[in-house]
Amino acid sequence: MTTDAPEGTVATEQITREELQLATRNHGMPLEAMRYDVTPVGLHYLLVHYDIPVVDGEAWRLEIDGAVARPTTWSLDDLRAREVVTRPVTMECAGNGRARLTPRALSQPWLLEAVGTGAWTGTPLWPLLDDAGLSSDVVDIVFTGMDAGVEGGAEQHYQRSLTPDQARDEGALLVYELNGAPLPPQHGFPLRLLVPGWYGMTSVKWLSRITAATRPFAGYQQAQAYRFRNQPGDDGEPVTRMRVRSLMVPPGIPDFFSRARYLRPGPVTLVGRTWSGHGTVTEVQVSVDGGSTWVDADVDEAPAPYAWQAWRLDWDAPAGTHELLTRATDSTGATQPLDHEWNLGGYAVNSVHRVGVTVTDHPPDP
Ligand SMILES: Nc1nc2c(c(=O)[nH]1)N[C@H]1C(S)=C(S)[C@@H](COP(=O)(O)O)O[C@H]1N2
Ligand SMILES: [Mo]
């Protein structure tokens, strides 16, 4: 550890015991699972700040309160009786890529796998708020989860907020099913918020209360965490939508321990997924020579807004060792950077994906 690492970060490659503890409670999506259009439930990534609450779905209620004309209480059956929407949505943790930074924030040490695409079923958020009748002076809508813990030195429920405009315009859903079955406990049973296109922290799980506030919400997850800062004490800009990213299914077979890849020489189709919370991905480029030259991959249309897109590229793999790279550009023209862009919390690190591979007829030797 060096002494110039800012508070809350470390400048070593070694993983601390606390990071390991988080990494075993939470988990990423194995990259080979990108072969599924919709991620099977147990393969979807998982991020839980505190403990997973045990909830009785019969007794559970959602309260809508605060500055509304008609405070309301909803059972799960009441919500199921409203308009039903099912859509595939790709969700990524804002900390995906954090563990690749130096120094890195001490938090969940994600490499690249904190992503998944669920087929989410629920009811649109805005009509419920509209029925409740928001006062004209409402500035934030606060979403409260049932889970509680201590973070940043304060006891809290997990809470995030949206402005009324965001709650109306972002296509947010209150979801009660994942891939055609009730939400599993770890993904927010019985109800969660889902804000398509945004990093996962916005999509509050175990939702029990929606409060219309006439003062800006200054809770920990909104005002302290999830902000782009370069040093402690910076006010920072809020982390919101997912930056453009592409990932490759690592080709060939892995070494058990190091996960180094081996591939037979000859034709292979490289495949992967790509997404952007700022629109759609218009281009994926692949390099098979460490970034010296780039080739356009075929990219499928998005099956729905903010659902990942498949890409593929045929490659005639020659014997030797190679570094494969993939880089996407979205409809705003934003492209993944070659190098990590550092920030204190390790948020939205969307640098190009690099996969080393040894092409040989005789693994493990080239
Ligand atoms: N109530 C609550 N909601 C939460 C969280 C949490 O810890 N508690 N984690 C958030 C974060 S940081 C992410 S990335 C997503 C992860 O959702 P998933 O575990 O269903 O993939 O949930 C978000 N919603
Ligand atoms: Mo997250």
Q: What confidence tens digit (pLDDT) does each residue in 23-61 have?
A: 999 999 999 999 999 999 999 999 999 999 999 999 999
Q: What is the CA(352)–ligand 2 centre distance, in A?
A: 20
Residue 20 DSSP code: H
CATH of the domain at 285: 2.60.40.650
- In the chain, the number of structural domains is 2
Upstream peptide bond of 364 is cis (omega within 30 degrees of 0): yes
Q: Ligand 1: does its nearest atom lie under 6 Å from the Cβ of 147? A: yes
Q: What is the pLDDT of residue 366?
A: 66
Across 11-20, 66-75, 187-196, 350-359, least confident range: 11-20
DSSP secondary structure string, 211-267?
EEESS----IIIIISSEE-SSTT---EEP-BPPPEEEEPPPSEE-TTT--EEE-SEE
On whether both 233 and 249 belong to a single domain, the answer is no
Per residue in 204-246, pLDDT (tens digit) is 999 999 999 999 999 999 999 999 999 999 999 999 999 999 9
Q: Ligand 1: does its nearest atom lie under 6 Å from the Cβ of 93? A: yes
Kindly give, in sequence order, each residue whose CB lies less than 8 Å from that of residue 90, ignoring residues fewer than 6 positions away: 115, 116, 117, 242, 273, 275, 306, 307, 308
Per residue in 308-320, pLDDT (tens digit) is 999 999 999 999 9
Q: Ligand 1: does its nearest atom lie under 6 Å from the Cβ of 302? A: no
Indicate the pLDDT class of residue 10, thresholds 50, 70 and 90.
very high
Answer whether residue 334 shows pLDDT above 70.
yes
Answer whether residue 2 shows pLDDT above 80.
no
Where does a domain end: 204, 238, 272?
238
Q: Ligand 1: does its nearest atom lie under 6 Å from the Cβ of 157? A: no
Indicate the pLDDT class of residue 139, thresholds 50, 70 and 90.
very high
Q: Whose CA is nearest to atom 16 of ligand 1?
A: 47
Q: Ligand 1: does its nearest atom lie under 6 Å from the Cβ of 348? A: no
Under 8 Å between Cβ of 73 and 62: yes
For residue 18, the SS3 value is helix
For residue 224, the enclosing domain spans 10-238
Quick one: average pLDDT of 333-360? 97
pTM: 0.97
Backbone torsions φ then ψ of 359, nearest 5 degrees = -95, 115
Q: What is the pLDDT of residue 4?
A: 77
Gap between the Cα atoms of 69 and 62, Å rounded = 17
On whether both 207 and 297 belong to a single domain, the answer is no
**Domain assignment of residue 162, yes or no:** yes
Where does a domain end: 217, 238, 259?
238
Q: Whose CA is nearest to atom 18 of ligand 1?
A: 46
Q: Go through the chain and tell me how many residues it has.
A: 366
**Domain assignment of residue 2, yes or no:** no
Q: What is the pLDDT of residue 1?
A: 44
Beta bridge partners, 270, equal 313
